[in-house]
Structure 1
Amino acid sequence: MTETGIAFETLVGPCRSDLDRPRLTFLHESGAEEVITGREIIDRSEALGRRLVGGTHPGDRVLLAFPAGIDFVVSFLGAVWAGLIPVPVPYPKPRRPLSRYHSIATDSSAILGLTNRETLERVDADSVSSVRWLSPSVLAELDAGATPSRSTGDRSQRPDPDTLFLQYTSGSTGIPKGVCVTLSNLMANLEVIQRGFGLDQLARDRRVVCSWLPAYHDMGLVGILLSTLVHDGHAVFMSPTSFMQRPSRWLSAVSDYQAAITVAPCFGYRYAVAKITDEEMSGMDLSGLRVAACGAEPIDPSVLRAFSERFASVGFSDNAFYPCYGLAECTLMVTGADRLPGSEGGRAVRDGTFDAPGYHCQRISRQGMRDSIARPPEDASDAVELVSSGVSGNATLVRVVDPLSSLPLGENHIGEIWVHSDSVAAGYWDKPETSQSVFGSRLSGDERRYLRTGDLGYLSDGQLYVTGRLKDLIIIRGQNHYPEDLERTVQASIGGRADCLGAVFSVSDETGESLAIVQEVPRGFTAEQSGELLDAIRMAIASEHDLIASAILLIRFASMPRTSSGKVQRGQCRQQFLDDTFKVIDRWQPTIHLDPALFPDKEELLRSVDVSSPHGQQIVRDRIERVLLNWLVGQLGCERNSVDAQRPFAECGIDSLMAVEMSGQMEHWLDVRLSPVIAWSHPNAEKLAEYLADQLLGNQQHTDVVAEQSIETLLAEIESMNEMEVLDEIGKD
């Protein structure tokens, strides 16, 4: 058997134990389920693989740009069967060309791209000239013909010639880095997941995992889909958009399928607590849930407690929580909670340390963290509560190292987290120098190769506590954002002046992580100019990054904290922002103006109106339009006269997550079925109000012009969680 045959059989072989048992169930936004058995997975993947052989060489890279669904899995496995290297990328949002993946295509030297038929019809063939875009459904209609002879392909760019797939790191598409994951890396990490989740202790029919994480994110791809196939389980999954529009779909699916495992970033648990109603909880049964894994971003202990309290009445046990830590460079999982079976409540272990059922927590000094030491707090105001990300196992070694001297640190000292494991990838695609510095570090007297994670943390009694990010990665709503990308956008808003420095960073509030922006302005900047610049920055960040800033400060020229080499000190900048010590010229922060009667009773819309007459129908449209405009005012924190019914939502600053929330709220309010991406096809308040009124009144003159598959497209943030991103998130608050 060839190397690629071994890889394919390793991934799908467990399906042969019962070929007709469902292995993957995708839940469409409409409520329909799409089920595929082991036999169908193998047959469809092999058929696609045979068609991909023609015109390719072993080791050629193929971009996978699919909406959430089973086609992604079949295409990934088909590429493996054909000896190609799959490169998962986020599915493009409606009206956004595939050219946004030019940098990934260029970096990976991809020669082929697979997507669905609908997206194929809007691909600009010249947007990524090196890539030929195809659809599996179109290929299936062609005659595969005779398989041509193939060369061995060019494997010189791979840090390891056995690369199975490339996992591009979340956030930046300007300077992409493709992690080269081998089959041995994957299997080592799946062993970590199996032991951590206790999969070997579950009967085969109980190995059901339910998730909304995007498949292009490492948590969705490795932790959900590939883990399910290799561990002989059953994955029930939906799109991130379906979850965002109605979070109850996630937990209802856990209940309906009696899933034993679910995985989400902290943001997902927070969102569920905030959005799922008592009525939606009626009939739920979460008592079968054994593992509720939480990772991909900082874990807030208050969120875990709130989730436990909220869903205890429907059977959720906080013993199920499984905090964990990982990253794509280590395939996925590094550490996970050492389970505390039989725990009935938190118990003090020693000063500042206690166990919640299922996981460990510590309270340490806020000032001590600034001094890089985890010590007990002086008083309540000095306390910071952290959740342990668990312990390492399966021959995984975690060390905490001084990032400057590369010397190992003792217990309770905060430093950079280094990892040695068979799960650590070979390096980044075609980046030998960066790969050596990130994947090839060594400690004095230790010949083992370590991965430098760029994350900060400390070890205490074997437990890993993650405290921050050495590399300033920003995670908001499960999506990773690189500050350099955001800062470039802000710089462009000010005319690209290199002498005016700017910094972006995340700050925490009651809703989670949000974005703060600080930007220097030239001398002599006027109030009129500052207002225009604040608006320009807001719009640029919203349109280019799908983010809404929680605060924008314009500060005096040359007042930004700098290093001796002139670089921005983001950490110091963030501290000055929190301490409010900047010399501020002007600022913008949203203010909330929510009317308690924002959504009147639906009957109010129809009261005293003859809905059979054109005039009466127009009154209903006007009333819905007024609610939409008031909703925009509340979300954006702006004045009522600054929003206009004919102004596109995107220009108003509505990001994709807010658009999905709007769709969900309107659907609940009017009790009409809506696509979560309705704002893309009815892009302002006037058009959307007209559509909603017609749906409410039963008029059928409007049809949703969004293609069916576009329903699953919106979250390259969670993800991204690509977000992934969920995540490439998911990942990814």
Structure 2
Amino acid sequence: MNPKGTFLDVMRNAAATAGDARGFRFYASPSDSVFASYEALDRQARADAAALVASGHAAGDVAVLAFDPGLGFIRALYAVFYAGLVAAPVPVAAIRQPDAALRRLASIVADSGSRIVLTEGGALLPLCVAPDDSVGEARVVSIDSLVGRIEEWVPPASDAGSLALLQYTSGSTGTPKGVMVSHGNLVANEAAITSALGLSAASRLVGWLPHYHDMGLVGQLLQPIFFAGDCVFTSPNQFLRRPLLWLKLITQHRATHTVGPDFAYALCTRLVTDEQLAGLDLSSLEGAITGAEPVRVETLRAFAERFARAGFQADAFIPAYGMAETTLLVTAKAAGRVVATIQADAAGIEQGVLRAPVDGGRAVDLVSCGPAADGHRIEIVDPVSGERLVDGEIGEILVSGPSVAQGYWRRPDATAAVFGVTIPGDGDDHRYLRTGDLGTSVAGELLITGRLKDLIIIRGRNIYPQDLEQTASTLLHAGCLSAAFEGSASQPAVGLVAEIDAARLAAGEIDALAERVRRAVTEEYLLPELGVALIRKGSLPRTTSGKVQRNLTRSLLAEERLPTLLMLGFDRGAVT
């Protein structure tokens, strides 16, 4: 594929080379699937695009895509690209918080300036929105209502610099912003993924990730179009109800590649029974990509050991690192290589340097996320001075390359601050993206240690909240999460809010659990003090991609807006 072309060129190439033989198969349930070939999608897209243009939508306009998982979203994405519009996918699942989902939809419509929200069926009914309604200045249009003539379609005058996507960030560390992904960015990143994973038209990808998130959109749905291979997918809800379905689809369709976050592999390890395991065959997997959240050594080992009986090979794991601001992929382990792990001294990491564990000291296992993708460059710099650091020194990760997006939509100041960074002594010719992530490089491979904005600084030590949360998780019920954050001057040095399944605990046991969590975390990390709050399971604020929002958790606790069952070491309402 020509890396200087557009993703429309990619879609048309898939139709020409794969025809009706390959495409997308969606499972709405374990026994209910529908298929759309690349040729059928191409035919439908030309008619749909002609209808969009005829109704007054011009190249460069933004179309918000509000869909449940399924082929309807794929159809809409094709229609938008064939019309030369810019796609802005949004989440619509709103069973528990329809008001919040509607506010998010309305804010994205307003921010993007979109005049159309494409949807399907009853996707927006939980938000009390239906086709022909309006959301702000945008009209809600069902994709099924588009009626156009294929022969009236005219290819848009798009090029590599034209915008393809407004990928709204999930907001784990701030207000969601629209990342401007050009066609050139998208093609470059898909080419990098194809190269890193060794994909071809014979590859078959199986997944369940949300289509509005960068990993699900770029890595799961758009990637198969690039290599013109098959994609079999189901919905996140189907996976969460029955994680076994993911593995059964891999078995049934002889998938060569799959993708998921760390928690998904851990969930399957915990829930799949011996009887179910006997019916699985994962020997076809060449790549099991893991990313979007910290990759844990114990998760990889446990999954590999559990599913070795089903033919899973440990070297199929591909730890990867990326984000919406780089379209998706930044680094990935080379296909076929053994996953590289490093055991490091925890005290050294807190001081900003990677070193071997010392006798009697706490050690941390880190997973290599591999080298930079083809054509991309990574630098590690001091977060304050911006000076380049050497291998083994921990600092902020900077990225440059053709996948780095164009900036934030209508936010020139934020774009300059994040996308226009230079390194002292290098001049102004080479600019980098500030990722906000912390890590180090060893022999050209990237190791992630944490998130800069979430860092807890105590007496000169850099404490990573995910470490505290991991220790707490060993004492919590399955599926219960926690969020750690730095306290204020008038509060404990560190706060930790943890979910519990209250129905499984008596009143006295709740008190005892809080004390056990506080003791375990305090002693393991030598904290001077720790406040613990226990809340009901499922109550921690999460982003649309499922990541815990630590700063928002702290604010909600201060405002008494969390369903708190017990507080130990906190004065209610005083966390500021």
When normalised by structure 1's length, the TM-score is 0.63
Instruction: Pick from 117, 120, 123 the counterpart of residue 119 of structure 1.
Output: 123
Alpha-carbon distance in structure 2 between the residues aligned to 1:170 and 1:283: 37
- Equivalent in the alignment of 2:433: 451
Determine whether 1:75 maps to 2:111: no
Residue 469 of structure 2 aligns to a residue in which SS? strand
Change beyond 3 A, Cα 1:422–1:228: same
Are 2:177 and 2:408, in contact at CA under 8 Å, matched by a contact in 1? yes
- Equivalent in the alignment of 2:104: 100
- Equivalent in the alignment of 1:470: 452
Higher RCO by CA contacts (8 Å cutoff, separation 6 or greater): 1
Residue 375 of structure 2 aligns to a residue in which SS? coil
For 1:187, give the aligned amino acid: V
- Equivalent in the alignment of 1:531: none
Q: What are the residue-to-residue correspondences of 1:665-704 with 2, within 5 Å?
A: none
- Equivalent in the alignment of 2:381: 401
Please list every run of 5 or more consecutive structure 2 residues that lacks an aligned counterpart in the other structure.
457-464, 492-496, 502-511, 516-520, 550-576
- Equivalent in the alignment of 1:589: 534
What is the CA RMSD across the aligned residues, in angstroms?
A: 3.8
Q: What are the residue-to-residue correspondences of 1:328-477 with 2, within 5 Å?
A: 328-339=324-335, 341=337, 358-379=338-359, 381-443=361-423, 444-446=425-427, 447-472=429-454
Per-residue deviation at 1:144?
A: 7.0
Per-residue deviation at 1:170?
A: 1.3
Encode CA deviations 1:645-665: one digit per residue, 9 max, x unaligned. Answer: xxxxxxxx65699xxxxxxxx
Residue 64 of structure 1 aligns to a residue in which SS? strand
Alpha-carbon distance in structure 2 between the residues aligned to 1:394 and 1:148: 35
Change beyond 3 A, Cα 1:5–1:334: closer
When normalised by structure 2's length, the TM-score is 0.79
Change beyond 3 A, Cα 1:582–1:422: same
Encode CA deviations 1:480-520: one digit per residue, 9 max, x unaligned. Answer: xxxxxxxxxxxxxxxxxxxxxxxx98722236962247888
Per-residue deviation at 1:284?
A: 1.0
- Equivalent in the alignment of 2:89: 88
- Equivalent in the alignment of 2:169: 169
- Equivalent in the alignment of 1:132: 139
Encode CA deviations 1:450-495: one digit per residue, 9 max, x unaligned. Answer: 1111100001111110000012299xxxxxxxxxxxxxxxxxxxxx
Change beyond 3 A, Cα 1:172–1:287: closer
For 1:311, give the aligned amino acid: F
Change beyond 3 A, Cα 1:383–1:69: same
- Equivalent in the alignment of 1:191: 191
Change beyond 3 A, Cα 1:92–1:245: closer
Change beyond 3 A, Cα 1:582–1:57: same
- Equivalent in the alignment of 1:65: 66
For 2:66, give the aligned amino acid: A
Are 1:336 and 1:390, in contact at CA under 8 Å, matched by a contact in 2? yes
Encode CA deviations 1:632-683: one digit per residue, 9 max, x unaligned. Answer: xxxx5xxxxxxxxxxxxxxxx65699xxxxxxxxxxxxxxxxxxxxxxxxxx
Residue 135 of structure 2 aligns to a residue in which SS? coil
Alpha-carbon distance in structure 1 between the residues aligned to 2:373 and 2:92: 35
Determine whether 1:321 maps to 2:317: yes
Change beyond 3 A, Cα 1:183–1:522: closer
Identical aligned pairs, as a percentage? 34
Encode CA deviations 1:285-328: one digit per residue, 9 max, x unaligned. Answer: 11110001111111100000000000000100001011111111
Instruction: Pick from 461, 465, 469 the counterpart of residue 507 of structure 1.
Output: 469
Change beyond 3 A, Cα 1:47–1:99: farther
Per-residue deviation at 1:174?
A: 7.7
Encode CA deviations 1:129-181: one digit per residue, 9 max, x unaligned. Answer: 211111111334xx77997999999x9xxxx9611111111136983211111
For 1:177, give the aligned amino acid: K
Are 2:65 and 2:76, in contact at CA under 8 Å, matched by a contact in 1? yes
- Equivalent in the alignment of 2:258: 262
Change beyond 3 A, Cα 1:580–1:452: closer
Change beyond 3 A, Cα 1:405–1:38: same
Encode CA deviations 1:524-572: one digit per residue, 9 max, x unaligned. Answer: xxxxxxxxxx99x999xxxxxxxxxx9999xxxxxxxxxxxxxxxxxxx
For 1:192, give the aligned amino acid: A
Alpha-carbon distance in structure 2 between the residues aligned to 1:50 and 1:151: 10
Are 2:91 and 2:544, in contact at CA under 8 Å, matched by a contact in 1? no
Q: What are the residue-to-residue correspondences of 1:541-620 with 2, within 5 Å?
A: 579=526, 581-582=528-529, 588-589=533-534
Point out the more displaced range, 440-449 or 316-325.
Answer: 440-449
Alpha-carbon distance in structure 2 between the residues aligned to 1:458 and 1:235: 34
For 2:534, give the aligned amino acid: Q
Alpha-carbon distance in structure 2 between the residues aligned to 1:70 and 1:462: 40
Residue 98 of structure 2 aligns to a residue in which SS? coil
Alpha-carbon distance in structure 1 between the residues aligned to 2:417 and 2:490: 38
Change beyond 3 A, Cα 1:517–1:193: closer
Point out the more displaced range, 98-107 or 431-440.
Answer: 98-107
Alpha-carbon distance in structure 2 between the residues aligned to 1:40 and 1:520: 58
For 1:450, give the aligned amino acid: Y
Alpha-carbon distance in structure 1 between the residues aligned to 2:356 and 2:524: 26
Residue correspondences, number: 502
Alpha-carbon distance in structure 2 between the residues aligned to 1:71 and 1:64: 10
Are 2:115 and 2:139, in contact at CA under 8 Å, matched by a contact in 1? yes
Alpha-carbon distance in structure 1 between the residues aligned to 2:524 and 2:115: 46
Change beyond 3 A, Cα 1:655–1:49: farther
- Equivalent in the alignment of 2:47: 47
Per-residue deviation at 1:433?
A: 1.1
Change beyond 3 A, Cα 1:65–1:379: farther
Are 1:361 and 1:388, in contact at CA under 8 Å, matched by a contact in 2? yes
Encode CA deviations 1:435-462: one digit per residue, 9 max, x unaligned. Answer: 1111111112242111111100001111
Residue 164 of structure 2 aligns to a residue in which SS? strand
Per-residue deviation at 1:192?
A: 1.2
Per-residue deviation at 1:375?
A: 0.7
For 1:130, give the aligned amino acid: E
Residue 298 of structure 1 aligns to a residue in which SS? coil
Residue 435 of structure 2 aligns to a residue in which SS? strand
Are 2:46 and 2:150, in contact at CA under 8 Å, matched by a contact in 1? no
Per-residue deviation at 1:51?
A: 1.5
For 2:482, give the aligned amino acid: S
Q: What are the residue-to-residue correspondences of 1:5-20 with 2, within 5 Å?
A: 7-20=7-20
Instruction: Pick from 178, 196, 214 the counterpart of residue 218 of structure 1.
Output: 214
Residue 355 of structure 2 aligns to a residue in which SS? coil
Please list every run of 5 or more consecutive structure 1 residues that lacks an aligned counterpart in the other structure.
342-357, 475-503, 524-533, 540-549, 554-573, 591-635, 637-652, 658-714, 723-733
Are 1:167 and 1:328, in contact at CA under 8 Å, matched by a contact in 2? yes
Residue 119 of structure 1 aligns to a residue in which SS? coil
Are 2:66 and 2:123, in contact at CA under 8 Å, matched by a contact in 1? no
Per-residue deviation at 1:399?
A: 0.6
Change beyond 3 A, Cα 1:5–1:262: closer
